[in-house]
Structure 1
Amino acid sequence: MFDSATEELRQKIFPQEQRVTSGWLRIGVAVTCITLTLITLYFAFTITIGEVKTRGLHLMFTLPLTMLLYPALKSSSRARPSLVDWGLAISSAAAFAWAFYRADAWLDRYVGYDPVPWSDFIFGCIALVTIFEATRRTVGPTIVFLNLLFIGYALTGPYWPGVLEHGGMSIPDFIETMYMDAEGIFNFITGLMATYIFTFLLFGVFLRVSGGDRVFTDLAAAVAGHRRGGPAKVAVVSSALMGMLSGSSISNVSTTGTMTIPMMKRLGFRNYEAAAIEVVSSVGGGLMPPLMGTGIFIMASLTNIPLVEILFYSIAPALLYYVAVYFYADIKAAERGMVGLPRDELPRLSEVVLQGGHIFLPVIILIVLMVLQYTPFFASAACVVMTLAISYLRQNTRMHWKQLLTALEAGTRVAITISALLASAAIIYAVTVHTGLLTKITSILIDYSGGSAVIAIILLGLMSYVIGMGLPVTASYVIIAALGAGALQELGLSVLAAHLVIFWFAQDSTITPPICMTAFVGARIAEAPPMRTGWECVKMAKALYIIPFMFAFSSLLDPSLGEVCFDFAVGLLLFVLVPISIYGYWRQPLSTPVRLSVGLCAALSFTATLGDAQDGLPWLGASIALLACTALVVRRRSPGAQTS
């Protein structure tokens, strides 16, 4: 069943941190994974069996698989699960099988009034413990610590000072609320994971198995490989395209970085620069429609804004982000006198489109279905099926039955990397709602900000950085959105602006030292110092810190297309000027006064985005005039400077 080609594919698309099983266990894991994938696809095209049942069934599959596929410790065997692993797997399966069995009976009881049966209480405790252990194994102990902190807050409510005080919950009440109510473990966050987050991840897997990642990489090489600093620009373009497949920065680095980072190093980039270019480009994958990572689906549910609308308003900011990264790579390449790769070593654009262009059809169909207001669950599941069918249009993308089975297994394997995490996030969100912490933090933020939206955004950025240390982007976004989005709305921001501000800030913890997981992955591939790579990422990713303020105060999210286009055009100028000012090079080294002048031009451009286009035109004019004067002075002082 598992020939060499299948083994190579499995190594490519299965998460690397999972156990490599063998024998009957390997077959059992494969059958279990494929079963959950097929069940989820079935639910996408039919009526589901109820919220608690659907979500309980999902966790009944994913948590036991997590216990078996993720070693408890680094020193644990990677070949076979231990007895403890088997015990936890069986316990978690029993806890959520019990929830599936009892779901209908729970609908007929009153939470907080009816007594909690001992059987429900015991299985509820097991469910919490196994969720925390599965979360620890997949993403580390940080979010488990946060869960325990929030649970402690829920149980000790009367003892907290001032506005943080609340009535408190007994342990049976807490278990009842978390396990026996649809607003606890089985709330909308777990519901998203059990439905269209799963199918969107599966869609990305099918695109990769059918050769989508290869097509996107070849397309990027054909478009940008021959340009100055070619491999760096291939990294930028390919990571933007790969973002449509995964929406995961670490996945992007692991996929495209193994090719682009060595090429950049050979061309002359320093190891930490090559890593930073790939890392920051890959972070943009979580900002690039139409997937944008799992957080975007949670945002749609939290805000009640249609997913397609959020994706539409995210196009311009994502493009601005990549413009900033692209010009960083260009300036570095120009400063070092680098050239592009020879055209005869690169794929031809016409050949790439002819042989692999059909791979883009499912992405286009996905967008069309969502515009037509089909549910994301149905749209993504339909595109999984369409990807399989469309792959047969070309020999080089055709999926045979072994690849199909591997893709179906990979769908669940990829899902379990975040399934326990989102169950933990669901618990944290449930605590904030049931204790009133959401409104309490809102009042505290408004008080400390003095009613200033600018100060509130800065405070939330700092909070996101601290809380996000060691947390995946999705968890960081859920926690900060639960605590701070209301405060931003109270200070005048729209619902969409408030959540996009937090969503973008949530990305920064993956690249900002001292704990920057995506930067660490890139540094390991480049054999570069992790901290040096992290700080280089911070310098490169200025858009990650500037664009949230544009969400808040510019017209980038305005219903008027003209206003959006004006701010986008000014943003292009802004993000061309920022790297020039920071790195002090444009066709030649720039003096400190010139860099300061260019920085002032960038500041004027940013000011031009505040308010509407009519108010911004004078600021834009001032920026362009100052830039023209600066360029004239530079040219007069160095008339013989060579241009590139």
Structure 2
Amino acid sequence: MASVSLQESSQDNQVKVQSKYMNYGVITSKAIVSLLIIWAVFQIYFTTFGAISAINLRAFHCLFLMLFTFLLFPATKKTIKDRRFPSVLNLFLIGLSIFCILYLVIYFPRVARSGGRLNTTDLYVAGIGILLVFEASRRACGNLGILAAIFLAYNWFGAYIPGALGHNGLSLKRILSTQFWGTQGIFGIGIGVSATYIFLFVLFGAFLKYSGFSKFINDFSLALVGQTPGGPAKVAVMASAAMGMINGSAIANVATTGTITIPLMKQTGYSKNFAGAVEAVASTGGQFCPPIMGAVGFVMAEFLNISYVSVMIAAIIPAFLYYLGLLFAVHFEAKKRVLSGFSKENIPNALTVIKEQGHLSLPLFILITLMFCGYTPLYSAVISIVATVLSSYLRADTRMSFDKIILAVVEGSKGAISVGVCCVIIGIIIGTVTLTSLGLNMGYVILSVVDNTNILLTGFLTMLMSVVLGMGVPGVAAYVIVQAVAVPVLIKVGIVPVCAHLFCLVYACLSNITPPVAMSCYVAAGISGGNQLKTGLLAVRLGLVGFLIPFFFLTNPELLIGVVPGVKIYEYLWIAFTASAGTVALAGGLQSYLLKECNFIERILLLMTCPLMLYPGLSSDFMGIALFGVVILLQRFNISSSILKRS
């Protein structure tokens, strides 16, 4: 049965995840597992019940990140595997990290009381600490360290850059003071996000996985759409959206769920490039999909100083349209290629799935309910983790054993490492932006190119900046980088703050599927055996509605529920209906299929329909509905085909 194969693949994948990076002997491996558990307990306690200063929480969080990065991530590709103990180099780097962090914790009060005055030892510690962060970033974050190095160099060489992007230059002491001893650099908001929201929600995602929630999502998706044309691809979309929403990393989601979904799509008849693109697009959208939004929504709420519930509600329509467009693109491709779904005997019964596994979704409902009741996301996450274990005991066959709980803690802690290191290194970027006023200067450059009232052109330039800055970076880290530079530009031209932040979030996330640095597509292509560039280009086409929607809510915030006061519920329903129709029209035009395969005239009409129906306004809505109706009539009665034959 399909559901059985999904379960078996999921179990195999869990084994792979557990073995990844664990290349030590038994004693060392057990010690690392014990440290990961201690880290999880530390994070849960001090982000909820325990009392600790913000700088100390961030410092100890950074210490754990450095420790596990040097233990689990090899220095080079040629590093000897299967060691009994860590190498001398790694032990030396760990020792330096412990010294620098403990030095910071001990002497930070003295530096703070003195107004930031540093002695020679303080400066040496800061320099060594920054070098250690770059080494950890090189191992865990890839090219992000290069971007951070460029920003760090800008502190010195900005004095030689003419025009608005230049500055007077900064001393080494000033740079070290800000980047290491200040709260705007390494120990700034980036690592603050990692130490709170990211860690707990990655851990929550791991608990959901080991409770069987991912299997429930797979089976329920199979029951709903498994028999429809292209059923495996639709299952991939739904499952990847659900898991990507929780784990917050498109790349990690492709690497895990993609090993299950991509082979199934290929077996059904989808090309390897198309299968990889579907998985990449589905995993990427989870980062801005309510109710969890990959933990990014909580960060956005902090920046905007509003409740998370407001952010979540505002993101509903854009996220819905994104996945609606992807589902219909998959459906039209299946109809065009005459691809069938799973046979009936391989499809589980929906009611049976809900009866046997539906209780596993209780933690998600508890999380949402607690946040709607006004509890903090951190408190809600911890309660939901406990609820995950308790709800698994409602049925004997889903109970989480002690071993499974330990595996969930270990995998959740390991999953937070690479994202956490990214958040540490982006502190360098944010510190540079703050210290040199780079964000304001870039905003000035953009505003000098466009008219202050030209929202669309400003949005386009901001989109390019967001995509570039977000390339190869996990969603949360990408958003933190982009909002520091791009959001002030949008607000300056009159964009509502919620719209500006969501605009930057969407494009920072979509950089994962935007060539040439489309990391999600590269991972998906590696699994599918497809071409990286072709997979990336197909992903852009499949996720095109995601690239279009932000421009429409820039000029028409009504697309974001709750942003514009006074809009009635029926008005939101009408906006959602017409925008959905426009999204279907776009998918049909791009895939060249609606009721049947489209000819040139019908494709053009469908593509014209999309912007008319996405733009909120009765006149444009009725024009779009009329065009959509014309296409349906043309296809129903073969009118346009007859016209083309005569011509």
TM-score range, shorter chain: over 0.9
Name the stretch that deviates more: 200-209 or 268-277.
268-277
Q: Is 1:332 matched up with 2:333?
A: yes
Correspondence 1:355-394 to 2 at 5 A: 355-394=356-395
Q: Is 1:532 matched up with 2:534?
A: yes
SS in 1 for 2:247: coil
Counterpart Cα distance in 2 of 1:562 and 1:134: 52
Letter matched to residue 626 of structure 1: L
The structural deviation recorded for 1:411 is 2.4
**Counterpart in 1 of 2:4?**
none
Q: TM-score normalized by structure 1?
A: 0.92
Counterpart Cα distance in 2 of 1:534 and 1:383: 36
Long gaps (5+) in structure 1: 1-5, 610-615
**Counterpart in 2 of 1:591?**
599
SS in 2 for 1:586: coil
Name the stretch that deviates more: 553-562 or 593-602.
553-562
Counterpart Cα distance in 1 of 2:272 and 2:241: 21
CA contact (8 A) 1:252 1:285 kept: no
Counterpart Cα distance in 2 of 1:461 and 1:433: 21
**Counterpart in 1 of 2:583?**
575
**Counterpart in 1 of 2:208?**
207
Counterpart Cα distance in 2 of 1:146 and 1:471: 10
The structural deviation recorded for 1:329 is 0.7
Counterpart Cα distance in 2 of 1:556 and 1:45: 35
Q: Is 1:67 matched up with 2:75?
A: no
Letter matched to residue 255 of structure 2: S
Counterpart Cα distance in 1 of 2:328 and 2:494: 34
Correspondence 1:5-154 to 2 at 5 A: 11-14=15-18, 16=20, 18-80=21-83, 81-111=86-116, 114=117, 116-140=118-142, 142-154=143-155
Cα gap change, 1:606 to 1:337, in 2 (>3 Å): same
Counterpart Cα distance in 1 of 2:80 and 2:307: 45
Q: Could you tell me the percent identity over the aligned residues? A: 31
Letter matched to residue 73 of structure 2: Y
**Counterpart in 2 of 1:189?**
190
Q: TM-score normalized by structure 2?
A: 0.92
Counterpart Cα distance in 2 of 1:600 and 1:158: 49
CA contact (8 A) 2:190 2:477 kept: no
**Counterpart in 2 of 1:3?**
none
Counterpart Cα distance in 2 of 1:394 and 1:359: 10
Deviations 1:293-351 (A, max 9, x none): 24333322322232221112112211111100000011011112222212221111112
Cα gap change, 1:475 to 1:448, in 2 (>3 Å): farther
Name the stretch that deviates more: 579-588 or 331-340.
579-588
Correspondence 1:268-417 to 2 at 5 A: 268-417=269-418
**Counterpart in 2 of 1:479?**
481
**Counterpart in 2 of 1:619?**
620
CA contact (8 A) 1:48 1:54 kept: no
Counterpart Cα distance in 2 of 1:54 and 1:103: 13
The structural deviation recorded for 1:74 is 1.3
The structural deviation recorded for 1:514 is 2.1
Long gaps (5+) in structure 2: 1-9, 643-647
CA contact (8 A) 1:233 1:329 kept: yes
Deviations 1:363-405 (A, max 9, x none): 1111111122222111111211221222211222211112222
Deviations 1:126-145 (A, max 9, x none): 211111111111120x2222
CA contact (8 A) 2:595 2:636 kept: no
Deviations 1:244-290 (A, max 9, x none): 43122223222322222222222211111111112211112112123
Counterpart Cα distance in 1 of 2:317 and 2:638: 37
Counterpart Cα distance in 2 of 1:411 and 1:97: 25
CA contact (8 A) 2:196 2:378 kept: yes
**Counterpart in 1 of 2:434?**
433
Cα gap change, 1:349 to 1:634, in 2 (>3 Å): closer
CA contact (8 A) 2:585 2:628 kept: no
Letter matched to residue 138 of structure 1: A
RMSD of equivalent CA atoms: 2.2
Count residues with an aligned counterpart: 625
The structure 2 residue matched to 1:512, chosen from 511, 514, 526, is 514
Q: Is 1:218 matched up with 2:226?
A: no
Counterpart Cα distance in 2 of 1:321 and 1:182: 37
CA contact (8 A) 2:277 2:539 kept: yes
SS in 2 for 1:388: helix
Name the stretch that deviates more: 82-91 or 203-212.
82-91
**Counterpart in 1 of 2:471?**
469
CA contact (8 A) 1:15 1:414 kept: no
Name the stretch that deviates more: 464-473 or 237-246.
464-473
CA contact (8 A) 1:429 1:479 kept: yes
**Counterpart in 2 of 1:612?**
none
Letter matched to residue 574 of structure 2: F
Letter matched to residue 578 of structure 1: L
Counterpart Cα distance in 2 of 1:477 and 1:133: 23
Deviations 1:441-470 (A, max 9, x none): 221111112221111111122223333333
CA contact (8 A) 2:586 2:607 kept: yes
